[in-house]
Amino acid sequence: MERNYGWIIVAAGAVITCVAMGAMFALPVYLQPIAAETGWTRAGISAAMTIGFLSMGIGGFAWGTLSDRIGARPVVLMAAALMVTGLVIASRATSLLTFQLSFGLLVGAAGGAFFAPIMAATVGWFDKNRSLAVSLVSIGGGVAPMVMTPLASYLIGIYGWRQTMLMIAIGAFVVVASAALLIRKPPVVMDAAPAEPGETPASTSRPPMLQTLARPQFIVLAATFFLCCGAHSGPIFHTVSYAVICGASPLAAASIYSVEGVAGLFGRLFFGLAADRFGVRRVLVAGLVLQAVGINTYVHVSELTHFYLLAMVLGMAYGGVMPLYSVLARDYFGANVMGTVLGAATFTSCIGMALGPIGGGWLYDTYGTYHWLYIASAAVGLGAAAMALAFPPPSQEVREGPAAAHGSA
C-alpha cells in the first residue's frame, strides 16, 4: 500500500499543475477588459506574460534546486503563497508597471515551482510505469486552458477582471495548498546520481551542482529540450495568424489551439504508455520526428479542415514528448539531484520557447510569408531528434535502482 501512494502523488500533481498554471495562463482573457478599463496598451499588458516566461525559467531552476534539499511539499506551499500574493497585487494594480512586476515576476516565478519539484517527487515513487506517471501529472497542464480559461472568462463577465483575478487567486491558493499537503517524499532514496568512470558511487551523497550540470548526459538532455521547444513554439504562436491569412475567421483560427490542446492530452497518455513498453528514448525520437514532419506540413496547408487535422498530429507529438524529459532525467541522474536537473533543463526549454515567436515574426517581416518559419522550425525539430539519438542507454542499475526489488507503484 505504501508503494501505491505514488498514484496519490500523481493525482495531487495533476490538480496542482492544472489550477496553478491555469491561473497564470488565463491572462489572455483578461487582456481586453484590462485594456478597456485602464487604457494600458495591449503590448504593455502582454509584456507581463513575457516577463512571466523568463521568471518561470529562472524560478524553475531555483525551485528545483531547493526541492532537492527540503522536498517538494514546502516548495509548492511557498510558491502557492507567492502566486496568490502576485495575483492579489495585480488585481489591485493602478499602474502598468505594478501589474507587470506583480504578475510577471511574482506569478511567473511561482509558476516555475509546479514542474521540476513535482516531477522530481513523482518519479521517485515509481520503478515501473514511470513514463505513464509523469504523463498523467502533465495532463493537468494540458487541461488547464480548458478549465481555468473558460472559468475566468465567465467570471469576468459577471464580476469584472479585478474581482475575478482576486477570486481565482484565493481559490487557486486553497486548492494548490491543500493538494500540496498530499505530497510525500519517496519511502526510500532510490539511488544517487550515476558515477563517472573512475568515481565511486554513493547512495546518499549529492554531487556539486556544476559537476552534475557539466555531465554529457545533462548537456544532451538540455540541448534536446531546448531544440524541441524552439521548434514548436514559433508554429504554436503564429499558426492562428497564418490560418487567418489563409482565409479562416479569427474565431475559427483560434479554435486550432483547442484542437491541439485536446490532442495533447491523448498524446501524453499514448506516449507515456508507449515509453513504458518500448523505451523512453525510442518513443522520444519518434515523437520528435513526427513533430518535425507535422511542422513542415504546414507549408502545404491552406484549408481550415487541414489545419485541424494537422493540429491533432502536432498536438499529440509535442504534448506527448514533453513529459518524457523527466523520465530521461531520472534514468540518468539520482533522485537526490532530480530537482536541480529538471529545473536547469526547464530553464533551457524556456529560452527555446522565447526564441520561437520572435524568430517567426522576424522571418515573416523579412520574407512576407510564414513558409520559412515552418521550414526553419522543422529543421530545428529534426535537430532535436538527432540530438536525442546521442543519449546512451542508461545502465541497468541506474534505471532500476536498488529499491526495484521491493516492488513498484
Among the listed ranges 116-125, 289-298, 314-323, which one has the minimum average pLDDT value? 116-125
Residue 395 has pLDDT above 90, yes or no: no
Angle of CA points 236, 241, 244, to nearest 5°: 130
Q: How far is CA 258 from CA 262, 359, 367, in A?
A: 6, 24, 29
Q: How far is CA 106 from CA 79, 109, 200, 202, in A?
A: 9, 5, 42, 38
Please, is 247 exposed, middle or buried when counting C-beta atoms within 10 Å of its C-beta (0-12, 13-18, 19+)?
exposed
Confirm or reject CATH 1.10.3720.10 for domain 3-180, answering yes or no: no
Residue 196 has pLDDT above 50, yes or no: no
**Arithmetic mean of pLDDT, 327-346:** 81
Q: What is the reported pLDDT for 328?
A: 87
- Could you give the CA distance from residue 81 to residue 106 in angstroms, rounded to a whole number? 10
Q: Which three cell numbers stand for residue 98?
A: 505594478
Q: What is the reported pLDDT for 401?
A: 46
Residue of 361 and 381 predicted with greater confidence: 381
Q: Would you say the pTM of this structure is higher than 0.75?
A: no
Q: What is the reported pLDDT for 235?
A: 87
- Could you give the CA distance from residue 400 to residue 404 in angstroms, rounded to a whole number? 6
**Arithmetic mean of pLDDT, 273-295:** 93
Q: Buried (b) or exposed (e) across 210-222, using 16+ Cβ within 10 A?
A: eebbebebbebbb
User: Phi, psi (5° rounding) for residue 158?
Assistant: -100, -45
Which residues belong to CATH 1.20.1250.20 in the chain? 3-180, 209-393
Q: Which three cell numbers stand for residue 297?
A: 506540413
Q: What is the mean pLDDT of the chain?
A: 84
203-232 confidence digits (pLDDT tens): 445 556 778 788 888 999 999 999 999 999
**Arithmetic mean of pLDDT, 261-290:** 89
Q: Which three cell numbers stand for residue 163?
A: 474581482
Q: What is the reported pLDDT for 85?
A: 96
Q: C-alpha 334: how far from its chain's center?
A: 21
215 HSE (CA, 13 A, CB side)? 23
Residue 155 has pLDDT above 70, yes or no: yes
Q: What is the reported pLDDT for 309?
A: 93
If phi > 0 it is left, if psi is from -120 to 50 it is alpha, else beta; for residue 407 that is: left
Q: What is the reported pLDDT for 293?
A: 95
Q: How many residues does the chain have?
A: 409
Nearest to 161 by CA among 22, 25, 32, 50: 32
Highest mean pLDDT out of 84-98, 126-140, 197-211, 305-319: 84-98
Q: Buried (b) or exposed (e) across 265-297, using 16+ Cβ within 10 A?
A: bbbbbbbbebbbeeebbebbbbbbbbbbebbbb
Among the listed ranges 49-53, 172-176, 192-196, 264-268, which one has the minimum average pLDDT value? 192-196
Residue of 194 and 232 predicted with greater confidence: 232
DSSP character at residue 336: G
Helix, strand, or coil (residue 168):
helix
Residue in this structure with the C-alpha cell 501524453, named with its chain if needed: 268
Among the listed ranges 155-159, 202-206, 216-220, 264-268, which one has the minimum average pLDDT value? 202-206
Angle of CA points 317, 127, 18, to nearest 5°: 45
**CATH no. for 209-393:** 1.20.1250.20
Q: What is the reported pLDDT for 394?
A: 63
232-242 confidence digits (pLDDT tens): 988 887 887 78
Please, is 395 exposed, middle or buried when counting C-beta atoms within 10 Å of its C-beta (0-12, 13-18, 19+)?
exposed
Residue of 337 and 286 predicted with greater confidence: 286
106-147 confidence digits (pLDDT tens): 999 998 888 888 888 888 788 788 788 888 888 887 777 778
Q: What is the reported pLDDT for 221?
A: 92
Highest mean pLDDT out of 44-48, 54-58, 191-195, 288-292: 288-292
Angle, in degrees to the nearest 10, between helices 116-123 and 338-367: 130
Q: What is the reported pLDDT for 408?
A: 45
Nearest to 223 by CA among 340, 68, 351, 360: 351
Nearest to 46 by CA among 60, 57, 30, 59: 30
Q: What is the reported pLDDT for 3?
A: 60
